[in-house]
Structure 1
Amino acid sequence: MIIANGEECKEFIRFNLKKKTLSEFAREEGLNYDYLSKSLNGQHSYRSIRDAFDRLKIPYRLISTAKTPTGKVAA
């Protein structure tokens, strides 16, 4: 599962939570910036990031990365 709406999450963090940068957000929330960046760019979804998003009520959508029988990634 990966976060499908990373750009929307970034905007929410910047405007609704009034954070100038994602690194500022990660530092203040005690999150690993690398994990946050990879999660928002759709490379990987880390539990700690999803838990923080749930706690702060940041809207996000997950999509499956399971492979289909043909070996292609389902979207």
Structure 2
Amino acid sequence: MNKKSLTERDICTKFINPAIKKAGWDMMRQVREEYFFTDGRVIVQGKLSTRGQRKRADSICYFINQITLLRL
């Protein structure tokens, strides 16, 4: 299998998610996939304001409800 021909989502599905499961994480309760964790930087120019690009993580692992432990 040529990993260079796979998409980012394919790599997550075939390699990263099984490794997270094997490490003992509960994928339904402790892991969020394709998650935006910021709203983007606020950019102010004079009286105008806008938001920059949001940041996204492929996977975020939560040890206890809503306490982030790891961003991948």
TM-score using structure 2 length: 0.32
Greater share of strand:
2
Larger radius of gyration: 2
Higher relative contact order structure (alpha carbons within 8 Å, sequence separation ≥ 6): 1
